[in-house]
């Protein structure tokens, strides 16, 4: 059912109302890119935010999170590039499989949870948005974000666990969105990750973009590695495969690289070490929030399942440290903000926190290789 958004004659009504049905199930072909959405009128982000807030008026307000300034002395001569990484929690899994025992089912209703997700995106205004566990791409994210000026790409998992849930909305997968007025797409590759030479159920998208303001090329990638304890070697193999693909795409790091993902791996795992020690000269942006710049945050996901409480650091934004600077990073939610029932909740739509960084190009990247 279409939820009430106040005055039904409002000019805002059409944007969200069209996305409330789950009519997209028939469309979840192994899609690379959606047909052109230029037929739809652009939306003003402020109007969409206002519409979301009308839907959410009975929920508690958004948490306040502040950006931490990480700029070194080097001044940038261009606008920073804001990148957002987020596992948004597939709707079918949240309602059907994940067993968040402290989260009321009412908090997981898609009509409202969708607006919480959109509100978070609209609040931080990313130039590039990397999402995992997207199972409402065709009926929500592609139609809305394309009208906000993003070019949209989706790559579903071959055997998504969402399909095991009754009344699912198709498979979940990775999605990548970038603002068309800031970047030009040069190349796009959908990667089905392999492990021990076998194709796996995990995927990645890698796109080479040209920054319109500077003319500089860079590669942005999004991925979601295999979950669960006991699969560490498998994740390591998937990570190696992704790194090999990215070495080829970036010509061995000649093209700067940003990789966003839910790696399902703590910093103690082998796949983390592979990325840290890669010849692509990568660093993890959120380490820079720690006092010594060497430690990951204490958590990026925090939930309670029947087996107990799970607090882990699994989500990362990796970047080419010779070619890119991290100007700032969005601080994480505190334990007090998250609350005793953990995530997701009426306040926050996913069991994973969003990560947001502002990047700028180094003026002389080759000198630092």
Which residues, 6+ apart, have CB-to-CB distance to 319 below 8 Å?
Answer: 256, 257, 258, 259, 282, 283, 285, 326, 357, 359
pLDDT of residue 11: 45
pLDDT in tens, 92-127: 999 987 789 899 999 999 999 999 999 999 999 999
Beta strands at 324-330 and 301-305: parallel, antiparallel or unpaired: unpaired
**Average of pLDDT values for 60-72?**
91
pLDDT of residue 14: 58
**Average of pLDDT values for 237-262?**
97
Model confidence band, residue 367 (pLDDT cutoffs 50, 70, 90): very low
Provide the phi-psi class of 133: left if phi over 0, else alpha when psi is between -120 and 50, else beta.
Answer: left
pLDDT in tens, 218-230: 999 999 999 999 9
- Tell me the helix, strand and coil percentages in the chain, rounded to 5: 25, 30, 45
Distance of alpha carbon 113 from alpha carbon 56, whole angstroms: 9
**Average of pLDDT values for 172-182?**
98
Which residues does residue 358 pair with via DSSP β-bridges, in sequence order?
82, 328
pLDDT of residue 366: 55
pLDDT of residue 73: 64
Chain-centroid distance, C-alpha 152: 13
- The first and second tokens of residue 120, run together, are 């978070």
Which pTM value belongs to this model?
A: 0.91
- The first and second tokens of residue 89, run together, are 């929690």
Can you tell me whether residue 33 is helix, strand or coil? strand
Half-sphere exposure of 21 (CA within 13 A, CB side): 6
Can you tell me whether residue 368 is helix, strand or coil? helix
Before 96, cis peptide (omega within 30)? Answer: no
Average pLDDT along the chain: 90
Q: pLDDT at residue 72 above 90?
A: no
Q: Is 36 exposed, middle or buried (0-12, 13-18, 19+ CB in 10 A)?
A: exposed
Distance of alpha carbon 19 from alpha carbon 53, whole angstroms: 16
Model confidence band, residue 283 (pLDDT cutoffs 50, 70, 90): very high
Share of the chain above pLDDT 70, in %: 88
249, 255 Cβ separation under 8 angstroms: yes
Query: What are the residue ranges of helices labelled H in 148-287?
Result: 232-249, 270-276
DSSP string, 166-197: TT--S--EEEEEEETTTEEEEEEEEEEEEETT
The 10 Å CB-count burial string (b at 16+, else e) for 153-172 is bbbbbeebbbbebeebbbbb
Distance of alpha carbon 249 from alpha carbon 361, whole angstroms: 19
Q: pLDDT at residue 144 above 80?
A: yes
Domains of the chain by start residue, with CATH: 80-329+339-364 (3.60.10.10)
Distance of alpha carbon 162 from alpha carbon 115, whole angstroms: 21
């Amino acid at each position: 059912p279409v939820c009430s958004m106040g005055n039904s004659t409002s000019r805002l009504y059409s944007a969200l109302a069209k996305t409330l049905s789950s009519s997209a199930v028939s469309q979840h072909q192994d899609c690379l890119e959606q047909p052109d959405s230029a037929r739809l009128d652009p939306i003003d982000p402020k109007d969409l935010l206002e519409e979301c807030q009308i839907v959410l008026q009975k929920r508690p307000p958004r948490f306040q999170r502040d950006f931490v300034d990480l700029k070194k002395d080097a001044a940038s001569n261009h606008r920073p590039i804001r990148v957002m990484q987020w596992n948004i929690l597939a709707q079918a899994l949240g309602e059907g499989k994940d067993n968040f025992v402290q989260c009321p089912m009412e908090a997981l209703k898609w009509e409202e949870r969708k607006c919480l997700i959109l509100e978070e995106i609209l609040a931080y205004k990313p130039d590039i948005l990397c999402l995992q566990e997207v199972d409402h791409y065709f009926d929500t994210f592609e139609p809305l974000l394309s009208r906000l000026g993003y070019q949209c790409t989706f790559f579903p998992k071959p055997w998504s666990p969402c399909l095991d849930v009754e009344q699912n909305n198709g498979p979940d997968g990775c999605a990548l969105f970038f603002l068309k007025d800031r970047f030009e797409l040069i190349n796009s590759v959908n990667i089905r990750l392999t492990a021990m030479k076998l194709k796996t159920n995990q995927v990645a998208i890698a796109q080479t973009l040209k920054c319109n303001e500077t003319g500089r090329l860079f590669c942005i990638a999004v991925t979601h590695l295999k979950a669960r304890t006991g699969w560490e070697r498998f994740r390591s193999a998937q990570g190696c495969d992704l790194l090999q693909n990215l070495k080829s795409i970036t010509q061995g790091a000649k093209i700067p690289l940003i990789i966003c993902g839910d790696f399902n791996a703590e910093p103690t795992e082998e796949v983390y070490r592979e990325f840290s020690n890669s010849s692509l000269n990568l660093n993890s942006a959120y380490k820079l929030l720690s006092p010594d710049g060497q430690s990951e945050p204490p958590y990026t996901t925090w939930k309670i399942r029947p087996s107990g409480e799970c607090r882990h650091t699994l989500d990362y934004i990796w970047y080419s440290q010779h070619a890119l600077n991290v100007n700032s990073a969005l601080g994480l939610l505190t334990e007090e903000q998250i609350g005793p029932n953990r995530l997701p909740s009426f306040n926050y739509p996913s069991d994973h926190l969003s990560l947001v960084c502002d990047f700028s190009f180094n003026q002389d990247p080759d000198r630092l290789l």
